[in-house]
Amino acid sequence: MGQTQSNNKDVFLPLLPKSSAVSTDCRQLLQEVRICADDLRKCRNDPVSGYYQLHRVWKLYYDEKTRCYRREIGKVLSECCFSAYVVSMLKRLLLDGYHPGSICGLLTNPWLWATSRLVLDIAWNYSDASDDFACDLANDNILEVLYKNLELYQNGSSARSGYRHFIIRATLSIITNISRRPVNKPEFLKFDFVHILLRFKSASDESIKVLALTALAFIKDPRDNHLLDDDFNAIPVIIRWLDSSLERDAYHRIKEGFTAAELAYVLNKLAVGQNVTKIIEEGGLEILRKMLMSSDIQQQINASQCLWSMAFNNEARKFIKANEELVEAVQELQQSKMNRQMLQNVNGLLWMLFDKDED
């Protein structure tokens, strides 16, 4: 998941000089990214001094003229070892308290919070956009900083705004982005993330609660499915967000930062035990049917995967089989044969519905 610019309206970033305009030519743009990364290498232990360069990298993600190059920018940042600079900066910012007045009796630079938000936002967004950058962050031990963030701010998990809320939300989002790449899972074994994420699972704030449960789904051992029991009603929130995101693309996400495809992917991971019944009760089948009929291939892939997972539940299988419109949509996808992964999902689902021997 990525951050949406609407969530950055309260950043109050200092005004920048006109020279901060960026190129829209891809080759020139990526060269500018390399220059910024090299400049920031010198600021890794003093992140506030690199504020303007950080802002340029941050701006590229949101600018309408350059956002189409997010993945390419992430790849260049990876090539420049930028993740190591980000981790060094976060360690320094954590030591300084992230925001003025956070450390009792310590006078801090008034630009500290603006810089902290930029660094966290860059790690958040480019760990979503780039597999390479997400893996680099994990390898450069960003999880140590993120774990300390959760320890430090766990008592502020219900706050609706302010420093604590953003730090927790950004931390959980980066953890989610890293953990959804299976290659990074061993890095999480170095810390007791499962234990500390369970504390945020009961947060009153919807985004914090959903992110904590999502991260748990990616990190936990397959034998620990009981940890994903939705005791605090995160699944109804996910389905509500899913319904709101169906007609949006990656550049126009819902304010919580998810795309419909990402939410279906999360729902698939949560489709275990009693959660499957809750997905059906909350109207999940109809939304998944709409996703199967979408022109977005990733929505189709993730929705069909979720339905296949749900079909392993005997009661859910009956509900899916009885939904004629849903079955028809699945059969139409089977005939289209547009994507190998999607075809595997729908073939598996139809086998569960019609060919599997009932117990």
Residue 7 has pLDDT above 80, yes or no: no
Residue 248 falls within a domain, yes or no? yes
**Residue 331: CATH number of its domain:** 1.25.10.10
The pLDDT tens digits for 50-70 are: 999 999 999 999 998 899 999
- Would you state the pLDDT for residue 110? 76
Check whether 336 has a pLDDT greater than 90: no
Q: Identify the top-confidence range among 25-34, 104-113, 168-177, 249-258.
A: 168-177
d(CA 333, CA 346): 7
Phi, then psi, of 296 in degrees rounded to 5: -85, 110
Which two three-digit tokens encode residue 9? 């309206």
pLDDT tens string 215-258: 999 999 988 989 999 888 999 999 999 999 998 887 788 778 89
Token output for 203: 């947060």
10 Å CB burial of residue 283 (0-12, 13-18, 19+) is: middle
**Which is more confident, 17 or 5?**
5
The predicted pLDDT at position 94 comes to 94
Instruction: Let me know if residue 310 belongs to a domain.
Output: yes
145 located within any domain: no
- Position 339 pLDDT exceeds 50: yes
93 in Cβ contact with 99 (< 8 Å): no
State mean pLDDT over 23-29. Answer: 81
What type of residue sits at position 204? S
What percent of the chain lies above the pLDDT cut of 90?
75
Please, which residues have CB within 8 angstroms of residue 20's CB and are 6 or more apart in sequence? 52, 55, 56, 59
Query: What's the pLDDT tens digit per position in 250-265?
Result: 778 877 889 999 999 9
Nearest to 146 by CA among 70, 221, 60, 219: 219
**Cβ neighbours around 148 below 10 Å, total:** 15
Averaged pLDDT, 71-80: 96
DSSP letter for 147, please: H
Sign of CA dihedral 66, 72, 77, 79: negative
Q: Which residues contact residue 31 at a Cβ distance below 8 angstroms, ignoring those fewer than 6 apart?
A: none
Is the residue at 155 inside a domain? Answer: no
Distance separating alpha carbons of residues 185 and 204, to the nearest angstrom: 28
Residue 252 per-residue DSSP state: S
Residue 134, Cα to own-chain centre: how many angstroms? 11
The count of structural domains within the chain is 1
How many angstroms separate the first and last alpha carbons of the chain?
39
pLDDT band at 359 (very low <50, low <70, confident <90, very high): low
Question: Does residue 249 form part of some domain?
Answer: yes
What single-letter amino acid sits at 237? V
Q: What is the pTM of this model?
A: 0.89
Confidence of residue 11 (pLDDT cuts 50, 70, 90): very low
Give the structural domain span for 289.
229-359
Q: Percent of the chain, pLDDT > 70?
A: 89
Per the domain annotation, does 283 fall within a domain? yes
329 inside domain: yes
Q: Is residue 344 in a domain?
A: yes
- Per-residue confidence (pLDDT) for residue 358, from 0 to 100: 60
Sequence-separated (6 or more) residues with CB below 8 Å from residue 29: 22, 23, 60, 66, 69, 73
